[in-house]
Chain A
Amino acid sequence: MNTKTLDISAPHPAENKTLSLPVHIYLLVMRSLTSLLRTPEALLPPVAISIFFLVIYQSTLGKAASFIPGIGGSYLGFILPLSIVSGSLSGSGIAAQNLVRDIERGYFDKLLLTPVRRAALLLAPILAGAVILGIQAAIVVIVGLILGLKPATGFLGLLAVIGLGVLLGVGFAGFTVSAALGSGSAAATQGASFLFFPLTFLAPTFVPLALLSGWLEVAAKLNPITYVLEAMRTLLNTGWDANAIGTSILACLALAVAMYVLAAFALSVRTRRT
């Protein structure tokens, strides 16, 4: 080691100053994104799977879809939302994986040793995950356009579709993040993100809601994914429908609030310092 001397009498760089919550969130989001983008191999599979299903559904069912009443436009516009929603679900694990990695490597403790605001520790990985989700959804939409998608609401409608996909993913991320904080284990977190997979099918996944009946109809009506799918489909196939969009946003918010109460609880348990 050399003998360079630090001047301890120099003004303390952090004298009694704690940056505001937005600045902490910004700093940690940028750090999460930097870290995430350096492992593209973790980000590509969810997009690849979404695109794969989109192409498969379109090729196998696209021509038969004229038999299904109530699609109200192109089959591509009907099935692309499913592709985005399943991407949101698999992508909702990104935030949590990022967090659980920090916990396992002890970097989370390192952050806890700074005066960082605790809410930033929760929100930053989720917001970074949301950015990734948005990029993934945009890629799926671009593939849709290449396949011949003609959105009824134009460019703004496509942005709204992406926005809804992100919102839904952020809600589910609250759950996977809770699992990450609660378990501190990558395997458990991975498992938690698979729990949502069946939810995709308790919804008007392949046929419109009006064609569902019995217990499946009940399940679909309780499932927030239903409203997101419906809203996206109207955006792509019929036009602006304030009612459908409003309902889907409410469904996403209800999901998000429930999940974030859970996540905040998990964070308080992890940082309870027992």
Chain B
Amino acid sequence: MKDREIIVENLVKSYPSKVKAVDGINFRVDEGKIFGFLGPNGAGKSTTIKILTTLAFPSSGHATVGGFDVVSQATEVRRVAGVALQDVGIDPLMKSMELLVLQGRLFGASKSAATARAKELLELVQLSDSVNRRAGTFSGGMRRRLDLAMALVHQPKVLFLDEPTTGLDPVSRRDVWREVRRLNRELGITIFLTTQYLEEADELADTVAIIVAGKIAAEGSPAKLKAAMGEESINLVFDTPELAEKGRSTLEQTGDRVQLDRETVRLYLSKAAGSIPTVVNQLQNAGLAPVSLTLTQPTLDDVFLQVTGQRLVAADAAQSKSSRSNRRVEVN
């Protein structure tokens, strides 16, 4: 029995309204890995985390965290799992130190041990200067950090982070990423994180699962998922959609497939860089001159589009990749 594993088998959660929030999912998170659970709002991410952290029962199926069953061994699961839910759960009238000491004591630590641990954690999340401030006066980023510290009080072996960076500014987001990576690398904590951000999953996760409408649509390492997409692409921008259409028909036989999106032609092929001379020659022969030519590696965004047929609309303007195209894409 490995004490840092998460195993999920045929997990189903249905609500009285007959809605299946989670519909028969299976996955496994190996010891010391970071698992990214990716999906749009309402896809079943939070429900899954609630089941795995003992806040909700599954309707059917089976799951273990650190070798303990989430239904029959809930107390043991609570001891090995640290949890930071999407809505930061802190009493704003309490001071950060008080909250951490109480949390530690509820996990069974003595007063002195809980106090020592609290000091250590406040230093870790860089809140040592705010020990005697009420949590209600904290900024969003500080509250997240305090919440993370509370999740770490009992030295969990598995850490659940539900959308840890939603609503954070890009700088705070990078801080959280660095911290997550460090907890994983230095302490060997297995991390299960849900996110709406492709970039986040790409950046952090060893394995990514894409959940759509309660079902897992794709799973694998980011590299593998992207590789499955096939290829890199050469992107050509023309002056007008008409010229782009000519470009598309010219290059139809060159790549594995060609996409036309207004003035842009995307040519997917396995060795894009090496094919540039050929592409340029063909265009010249056809009398076409693109305004720009760029090379793109496949992104998780592409994977997402492929498996779900829709773009993941991120609530964040910093997500340049997803804002790239909400326009209609014509797949050839």
Contacts and interface: CB of A to CB of B under 8 A. Distances in A.
13 contacts: A1-B124, A1-B182, A3-B182, A13-B114, A34-B94, A101-B91, A105-B92, A106-B90, A109-B85, A112-B55, A113-B54, A115-B107, A273-B56
Interface in B179-205: 179, 182, 186-189
Contacts of B187: 6, 8
Contact of A6 (B57, B107, B108, B124): B124
Most buried by B among A31, A39, A111, A114: A114
B54 A273 contact: yes
A115 B91 contact: no
A15 B90 CA distance: 25
A272 interface: yes
A163 B229 CA distance: 73
A85 to B, nearest CB: 29
B125 interface: yes
Q: Top 6 closest A-B pairs, CB basis? A: A106-B89, A14-B108, A13-B109, A110-B89, A14-B107, A17-B108
A106 B56 CA distance: 15
A244 interface: no
A13 B108 contact: yes
A186 to B, nearest CB: 15
A5 interface: yes
Interface of B: 53-57, 75, 78-79, 81, 83, 85, 87-94, 98, 102-110, 113-114, 117, 120, 123-126, 134, 150, 152, 154-155, 175, 178-179, 182, 186-189
Most buried by B among A13, A24, A39, A115: A13
Interface in A1-21: 1-6, 8, 10, 12-15, 17-19
A94 to B, nearest CB: 14
B250 to A, nearest CB: 52
Contacts of A38: 93, 134
Tell me the dominant secondary structure on chain A's binding face: loop
A175 to B, nearest CB: 24
A102 B91 contact: yes
Contacts of A116: 106
Contacts of B182: 1, 3
Contacts of A15: 108
A66 interface: no
Contacts of B85: 106, 109-110
A236 B89 CA distance: 47
A18 B108 contact: yes
Given A113-B55, A115-B75, A272-B57, A31 B102 contact: yes
Contacts of B152: 6
Most buried by B among A15, A115, A274: A115
A188 interface: no
A107 interface: yes
Interface in A125-140: none
A4 B125 contact: no
A38 B107 CA distance: 25
A174 to B, nearest CB: 23
A106 B55 CA distance: 12
A27 interface: yes
A268 interface: no
A13 B155 contact: yes
Given A34-B94, A106-B88, A13 B103 contact: no
Contacts of A59: none
B179 A1 contact: yes
Contacts of A105: 89-92
